Chain A
Amino acid sequence: MGKYIVRRLLQMIPVLLGTTFIIYMMVFVLPGSPLDGKCGERPCPDAFVKKFEEEFNLDKPVLLRYLLYLGNLFRGNLGTNFYGNSVLDELRQRFPTTLELALIAVFFIIVVGIGLGVIAGIRKGRFADHLITVTTLILISMPVFVIGGLAQMVFGLKLGWFPVTATDGTFNQLLLPGMVLASLYIAYVARLTRTSLIENLRADYVRTAKAKGLTRGRQVGLHALRNSMIPVVTYIGLSFGGLMGGAIVTERIFNINGIGFFLYRSITQRDGVSVVGTIALIVIVYLFVNLLVDLLYGVLDPRISLD
């Protein structure tokens, strides 16, 4: 296990360097001033240009600049936008709302996604299975902004079951956006759970469980499900990146003042420092989440630690 962790950590280093390098190159090295079109509609104010050049060491050689940038990134210095606000502060202030939204989404993904997948898996080929398979296919085909708009229209405005917007970010307000954000992954997780469960139900050890005189519930619920959950848990962990992308859209639709909305606003206001800083941070967090998932995988599947 220890060896496995070390190996995964070592493997992560080039990926981390690579991704930050690409983002850095795109923004600060490619032809054209890095400030072009990044201060809203007007040219950047001189004071900001000066500060920007200082902050990002634009007078130094490329590689050194990149290393310094990397150092800043790891110290949590994401730069200062042309409003003079620290990007990190902006994000820190909005983080709890987005976290709450994401947790609500993950809750729905786990409960509804796995639940539907298990139902479809044990009723394979029956009506419930077909219904769930087709419904999830439709959900997967609807981009999150479509689902968001429709959900807002139907459940918010027409039926009035949920608040239409979530400006304050209270739990009640975040419920509908959370479901919207979760919808795509509910569908994926349901399908993955179904496939995985069906595969495992066919496995020899389930037959052994049956031969041991265990109830059907125990064969499925303990023996098969335990194994089926390995890819599912991994997938839920890996969906974090997509969840953050979805949060941009969901927060924009429901007016939620979180990280996603901040990113959206920064895009429309052409606030370059904020856009790049936010995305760089999300990508780094995403990589660490992936690492955690890998480690979790090692815990869930005892076979992994040997190879």
Chain B
Amino acid sequence: MTSSPIRFVPGGRKALRDWRDDTKPLLKVDDLHVEFRTREGVAKAINGVSFDLAEGETLAILGESGSGKSVTAQAIMGIIDTPPGYVTGGRVEYYGTDLLAMPEKERQSVRGAQIAMIFQDSLSALNPVLPVGWQIAEMMRIHWGMNKSDAMTRAVSLMERVRIPGAAQRVNAFPHQFSGGMRQRIMIAMAIALDPAVLIADEPTTALDVTVQAQIMRLLEELQDERQMGLILITHDLGVVADVADRIAVMYAGRIVETGGIYDAYAAPSHAYTRGLLDSIPRHDQKGETLYAIGGLPPSLTRIPAGCAFNPRCRYATDDCRVGAPPPLVEVRPSQWSACLHAEEVIADAQR
């Protein structure tokens, strides 16, 4: 594996040096609030999310659709459409600089270059009428002012790096001419084109076959390792992230309800919701048994229940869970945080 032609190019990590500050975390999200103002009312999509991410670290954000995991990613990228979406509070710090307070022009130079993102459906996420190589080269041309032929040359080497066979011949092909897995590789090539410090992957493998899923995850892991990127993996599928992630943050109704090391959370979940998610993964040793599914539906974000938002679906719920402010994240065991009032009970159940 020769990574040298990709890594040290003008503007790559060199530009990063302007930002880099070893005393500050790579990415720090602090008390983030996002809401969507629609005709049906105000949907509170994110209600005080905080976490940080170090270089070379992988954080998995887990949750059902509507839990706010994708919105969190979009808020970090600054690509929420306003209206209807508004970031109403909090900070997103990149090496200590608050991105939310940054003028749009400067923010644009961070987007894609310092923090890049991969989307779920690569067919609709790539522009259907432009050749894939052109779309990758656009990154270098816009951010680095590279000329067209140099940018195309680099686009080919990026396509080779993500292991697209016959990259040089296929650089002028259109997105629909690739398979789903190959298209997702192109998305990845585009995202890593400027050697970003943070990579956000929003359900990167959901639309793919199981075998292809594994290949893509391996590629992401490898690229992260090679570049020491901070990687945020957003998914609803616990199985996908188990081998890759260092830490996990479980989201429900716009809040993080449990966070900690991935092994702790797997071995002994400390929130009833995490427990439910784990129970609903099909397992080989339980063939023939009825698969568990969390009853009910996620709450409407315009009417989030009082107390713990999960209480209507929770088998541990007591009256305490149904009133007042949502329970805060509490360190229930060393570096395992839970927002469940019955955390001890849930852990005890898991250890039984």
Write the nearest CB–CB distance from B300 to chain A, whole angstroms. 22
Q: Are A302 and B176 in contact, with the CB atoms below 8 A?
A: yes
CB of A65 within 8 Å of the partner chain:
no
A215 (CB) vs chain B CBs: closest residue? B108
Knowing A203-B124, A205-B127, A226-B129 are in contact, say whether A212-B176 is a contact too (CB < 8 A).
no
Q: Are B174 and A211 in contact, with the CB atoms below 8 A?
A: no
Write the nearest CB–CB distance from B34 to chain A, whole angstroms. 16
CB of A51 within 8 Å of the partner chain:
no
Give every chain B residue within 8 A of A218 (Cβ-Cβ): 142
Q: Are A302 and B111 in contact, with the CB atoms below 8 A?
A: no
User: Which of B109, B110, B176 has the largest number of chain A CB atoms within 10 A?
Assistant: B176
CB of B125 within 8 Å of the partner chain:
yes
The digit string for A195-229, where 1 denotes a CB below 8 A from any CB of B, is 00000000111011111111100100001001100
Knowing A208-B125, A212-B190, A218-B142 are in contact, say whether A226-B112 is a contact too (CB < 8 A).
no
The digit string for A60-94, where 1 denotes a CB below 8 A from any CB of B, is 00000000000000000000000000000000000
User: Which of A204, A209, A300 has the largest number of chain B CB atoms within 10 A?
Assistant: A204
CB of B71 within 8 Å of the partner chain:
no
B100-121 interface with A by 8 A CB criterion:
108-113, 116-117, 119, 121
Knowing A218-B142, A302-B174 are in contact, say whether A211-B117 is a contact too (CB < 8 A).
yes
CB of A168 within 8 Å of the partner chain:
no
Give every chain A residue within 8 A of B176 (Cβ-Cβ): 302-303, 306
Q: Are A207 and B129 in contact, with the CB atoms below 8 A?
A: no
Q: Are A227 and B128 in contact, with the CB atoms below 8 A?
A: yes
Q: Identify whether the interface residues of A are mostly helix, strand, loop, or mixed.
A: helix
Give every chain A residue within 8 A of B110 (Cβ-Cβ): 213
Write the nearest CB–CB distance from B202 to chain A, whole angstroms. 10
Q: Are B126 and A213 in contact, with the CB atoms below 8 A?
A: no
Knowing A203-B124, A303-B176 are in contact, say whether A208-B119 is a contact too (CB < 8 A).
yes
Write the nearest CB–CB distance from B155 to chain A, whole angstroms. 13
Write the nearest CB–CB distance from B110 to chain A, whole angstroms. 7
B116 (CB) vs chain A CBs: closest residue? A211
Q: Are B139 and A212 in contact, with the CB atoms below 8 A?
A: yes
The digit string for B159-173, where 1 denotes a CB below 8 A from any CB of A, is 000000000000000
A-B contact pairs, 23 of them (CB 8 A): A204-B119, A204-B121, A204-B125, A205-B124, A207-B119, A208-B119, A208-B187, A210-B79, A211-B77, A211-B79, A211-B116, A212-B142, A212-B190, A213-B109, A213-B112, A213-B142, A214-B112, A215-B108, A226-B130, A301-B129, A302-B129, A306-B176, A306-B177
A-B residue pairs, 10 tightest by C-beta: A213-B112, A213-B111, A204-B124, A212-B112, A302-B174, A205-B127, A204-B125, A210-B79, A211-B117, A208-B125
